[in-house]
Amino acid sequence: MTSSTRRIERALISVSDKTGLMDLARALSAAGAEIVSTGGTAKAIADAGIAVVDVSQLTGFPEMMDGRVKTLHPKVHGGLLAIRDNSEHANAMAAHGIKPIDLLVVSLYPFEATVAKGANFEDCIENIDIGGPAMIRAAAKNHDDVAVIVDAEDYPGLLDALKAGGTTLDFRRKLAAKAYARTAAYDAAISNWFAEQLGDPAPAWRAFGGKLAEALRYGENPHQNAAFYRSPERRFGVATARQVQGKQLSYNNINDTDAAYECVAEFDPARSAACVIVKHANPCGVAEGASLEQAYCKALACDSTSAFGGIVALNRTLDAEAARIITEIFTEVIVAPDATDEAIAIVGAKKNLRLLLAGGLPDPRAPGLLVKSVAGGLLVQSRDNAVADDMTIQPVTKRAPTDEEMRDLVFAFRVAKHVKSNTIVYAKDRATIGIGAGQMSRIDSARIAARKAQDAAKELGLAEPLTKGSVVASDAFFPFADGLLVAIEAGATAVIQPGGSMRDDEVIKAADDAGIAMVFTGTRHFRH
């Protein structure tokens, strides 16, 4: 087949999303194309005074079984699949009264949206499209002759093609590629929903799909290509956010903003304001306070050097007071559920600062899947939705923590969940004062976190290290007492950790010998 232009003489339209439908139908009609349609789409076109042939007139069969059977017919699929310059195909069409279909426009039943709104099992099943994907795949396979559109965003390109006299092969191939991607993503959403309904954590086949949100300038590094895709999951964050201002987000911005917003969601906004500052996917400062301004100042004090050029995530509506102080230093992104008009105006003075309003906070308890690529495969796991408030925290030392220590311990463990392993977090007054992240040994994380706290104390002009009288959290158990001894030497008075080491008794004894309190959570928070 050559790259010849194909005139559109007959189009079949069946869309659940009627966006742009009337403009498209009018243009097709004006170009002399016959329009065949189904159900509600046919009615909408007819009501607009545009000539339309109901698909039942084409097939000779009525829509039946509540609309489940309407386009699954040789006169539809033969019209889509017939190769125009193949004499055998042409003879078959003539023998059976099949007319060619030059354009297929389909938007599938809204399965993803039905699941997202919490519909029951039966309603979700009824919103699985059968005829639509079958037609899409048929038309896409025969793209040498047939154009297929699955997205209203492609209507303008089609209208331009109509004005030019028809569709080019290059245009049809691009539409076909998009069509197969759409049915793949659609089937992926269905199969993953089924696995969730069945409680199957490891189905024999896994597929994931998403729709392009935007092509990015580059990936982690300038020589890498990248793009951002939205998945069917409806979770507040970067994917739901409205970017109020600032230049385009980069790959690293999106990754870091997601890390910051997931962390700040651990802190109930009804209880207190919270701020998380992230640099290179790790929190460098986290704090709770009576206001966002106070929480930010406490978080910044943990590591003001690393906070420069960081991501700031907030758990409440950004107000003017917080906006003023956050914009005093260079910040890449501010993300919050919402913002006041005054705060938006203040941030607006920094033209390159991105402000994202996510519309809500993600639920840290919600289930979900995390996917990571490895050579030749995918690693898939359920989201770490264990929340410190739900854990049975058990004192294991002779001295139990005080109420104040316990508040800080729970705070520190919430933060440790979102720091790369191995993780050590020192905290005091519901604010981090030292964070050790991503080290090969836990003792190194403990040393780095203590050193960070010392640096912060010097910057604040304090004579004593901030770790004196602090608490410490470890994302996983202490395999030896050495890491704990570093924390004790730094001045920590209480420790929270999962427990479960073969040397737990040795670690507990070291805590008792130092007179500090230790609690076990029974839950590990590795994050790689």
Specify whether the CB–CB gap between 150 and 108 falls below 8 A: yes
Q: Are 327 and 347 in contact (CB under 8 A)?
A: yes
Residue 213 contacts residue 239 (beta carbons within 8 Å): yes
Q: Tell me how far CA of residue 251 lies from CA of 87, 215, 256, 259, in angstroms.
A: 51, 10, 9, 13
Three-state SS letters, 22-80? HHHHHHHHHCCCEEEECHHHHHHHHHCCCCCEEHHHHHCCCCECCCCECCCCHHHHHHH
Interacting residues of 51 by C-beta distance below 8 A, sequence separation 6+: 29, 34, 35
Tokens at residue 320, please? Answer: 């003017």
H/E element holding 131? helix 131-141
Query: Cα separation of 8 and 448, whole Å?
Result: 68
Rounded CA separation 37/32 (Å): 16
Instruction: Please check whether residue 340 is in contact with residue 324, taking contact to mean a CB–CB distance below 8 angstroms.
Output: no
Task: Copy the structure tokens of residue 393.
Answer: 């925290």
Q: Give yes or no: 525 in active site.
A: no
Confirm if 209 and 225 have CB atoms less than 8 A apart: no
Are 275 and 264 spatial neighbours (Cβ–Cβ below 8 Å)?
A: yes
Omega before 253 within 30 of 0, i.e. cis: no
Contact 321, 304 (CB under 8 A): no
Q: Of residues 211, 280, 350, 468, which has the active-site annotation?
A: 280
What's the rounded Cα separation, in Å, for the pair 45 and 42?
A: 5
HEC per residue, 434-450 = EEECCCCCHHHHHHHHH
Find out whether 320 and 343 touch, Cβ atoms under 8 Å. yes
Nearest 5 degrees, angle CA 14-CA 17-CA 20?
90
Question: What residues are paired with 302 via a beta bridge?
Answer: none
The C-alpha atoms of residue 509 and residue 511 are separated, in whole angstroms, by 5
Q: Which amino acid is at 36?
A: V
Does residue 77 carry a catalytic annotation?
no
Q: How far apart are CA 528 and CA 437, in angstroms?
A: 10
Question: 253: closest CA among 204, 310, 323?
Answer: 310
Catalytic residue among 141, 174, 350, 468: 141
Distance CA 17, CA 299 (A): 46
Report the C-alpha gap between 192 and 198 in whole angstroms: 10
**Residues acting as catalytic residues:** 141, 280
